[in-house]
Structure 1
Amino acid sequence: MIVPVYVSHRDKPDQEKLVYALLDTQSDTTFILEDTYRELGLSGTTVKLLLSTMYAENQVVESHKVRDLVVRGFTIELKIPLPDTFTGNIMPADRSHIHTPEVANAWPYLKPIASEIMPMQNCEIGLLIGYNCARALIPRDVIAPQDEGPYGQRTDLGWSIVGITDQSFEDENDCIRTSHRIIACEVPPSILNSDGHGPKHVMFSLQTKIKELIKPETLSQMFELDFIEHSVGMKSISNDDRKFLAILKNVIHFLDGHYEMPLPFREDLSYLPNNISMAEQRLKHLKGKLDKDETYRSQYVNFMTDMIQKGFAEKVPEDEQTCFDDHSWYIPHHGVFNPQKPNKLRVVFDCSAKYEGQSLNDYLLQGPDLTNTLVGVLC
């Protein structure tokens, strides 16, 4: 069961975030996505978890333990307190398994609940609620399946559909069950051209049937290679990194006392969807929070006014405000309070917000990692 919910902290009930929640009756623990944890401005205790799955037992993972989270359904005011919740980097769920009103309408006996199921929302799967929060998993109402079809189930977080809904479903085509092995080899700098590009095809061989016996003295020499001084600061640069550096070199310029550079797009913008519907939805939610909290609104206005006065942001010219073509992308924003500075609002511009499975960050080059290695710092 995957349902849209609002999650917040008990001490900050107005700072809600819309996410999808995976209701997992086989997990004894409740988890929150690391990104959701950060966007809510939460603070927790650093812990180490012993996590057991089908393929690993008692695997040690770093996490944060968060207390006093609450959750409510998309259109439901009833709030359910969550038990101690732990952060995780991923959620074991596939967005293609989120059911919509169209899915309910495809099954005659599920049509009565089609209006109770929310359309697909532009938010991440940010929660996994285990059976240590039984109140969120209790079946309040059930529509039994017919033949081999799915069934409907209502909890205090809303209606959901359980089961295979694609009648042409084949196990081998389910992407969540597919596993791939990826092997990457660095292209030697000697064969690259001056522009950072190399030949179209590079051949390399894989020796998969040969086991190499390593002598103890050879193994010791291999370990010592990690601490040879001449390797300090030498990092491989990917082709994307070279492209990023080329953009900076050719386009960056000095203007009004500041360096100005364009957004380092991976490619042209012809594939960027117009996300105005998502941005408007986020704006309505933000307006509701501004109307409810005078302090929140005042600090938000001050922050945005300061951004405009310093020239960090400017108003879109009127002749461009109606230019809603395929090259328009709207960046939603929201405010968060840092627990260490509870009286100072920080506005977050959410470039990771997804629309039709894509975000602005997906189209941008990250650039090379310029952080010194630990060996480099020590030297």
Structure 2
Amino acid sequence: MHINSADLSLTSPVNSVSGKGVALQNNNIFNTVILPIAILEIKDYTGSFHKVRALIDSGSMANFITLNLANKLKLPRVKSCHGISGLNSMSSTCNKGSVYCQIKPFAMSEPSFDLNAIITKTICAQQPQRCLSIDSYAHLKDLHFDEDQYSRSAPVDLLLGAELVPYVLDDQRVTGRPDEPVAVGSVFGWLLMGTDTGSSASSEITACCAVVDSSLETCFQRFWEIEQVETQLSLFPEEAVCESHFINNCQRAQDGRFVLALPFRDDPSRLGNFYHQALRRYLLLEKRLSRNSELKSAYSEFMLDYLKSEHMTLITSPFSDTTTNYYLPHHCVLRPNGPSTKLNKGTSAIAEISCSSYLLLKPVTSENADEITVFGR
């Protein structure tokens, strides 16, 4: 939380002057406080590590990562929505998801920590609020700090919450005067906390206390969840026979293809025998192709591809007249302006009653376009 104290109704007895019934009060009573900033490395999706600035916050129930850093790391995201509340019941919602991260001390291989971090746009204002001169504090001169820790004001990329604080901090302390910052030891190196006496009082306060309400995520999930109503499809008698035929006759061949017998509703022998009519149409097609060598070459190549793909097979012996045979002649369909295939194969029925009219109809499993209603929220 980034709070402007000008919006707070706080009064101070310091620097107040009373006279003639007039009281002047100064609200800028807060000394600048140094927050513990650690320099560490975080792993991205390729396994490479990146140097980042992390704020150690024992008052946060969760870990947070900025949206910019999450986009840079390209780690897989988990969809989630969390309600975040803090001081004075101020609340916000983080609905950009979360990521699982691995962090380790800068330029070291261990220890490493795995954590889940909630993605948020920003964590807090740039820290520290002003550049610090470590050498100005006598008790800190012999300690090593990273140049990106306190020497410049910069954005915070990561917030490590209370679950990691006990494993990050150790028992080392280096103190000076009561009004000077304290150096605290950690696995990431030395951290600074306390008052910055070298700066004037500030009117801005950074408070990073965060309480995560997981119930909000469940609430949002239920709100956007689409209810699935199980409905039993009503079938006409003929559609029920067709579906039963599919269940009982569908099988898979050794080459992986599905094989299904045609679902005739009537005796297919009633279609008749049209071998001679089919042969006559075939001869007419050959005559047409003989007058156009380019068309003949293209159609022959097309049919050869059909043969290689086993969409059709060669009849080795003529069918017997006693068996039911149905002949479906083919012809070429030329589409000069077609998007991909310029030539295609067409079929035409010979009999007045086509073969398809003898087949059962499958049940309609999709709604008509005019029956579909789109609900918006």
- TM-score if structure 1 supplies the norm length? 0.40
- TM-score if structure 2 supplies the norm length? 0.41
* Structure with the higher helix share, 1 or 2: 1
- Compare CA radii of gyration and give the structure with the larger one: 2
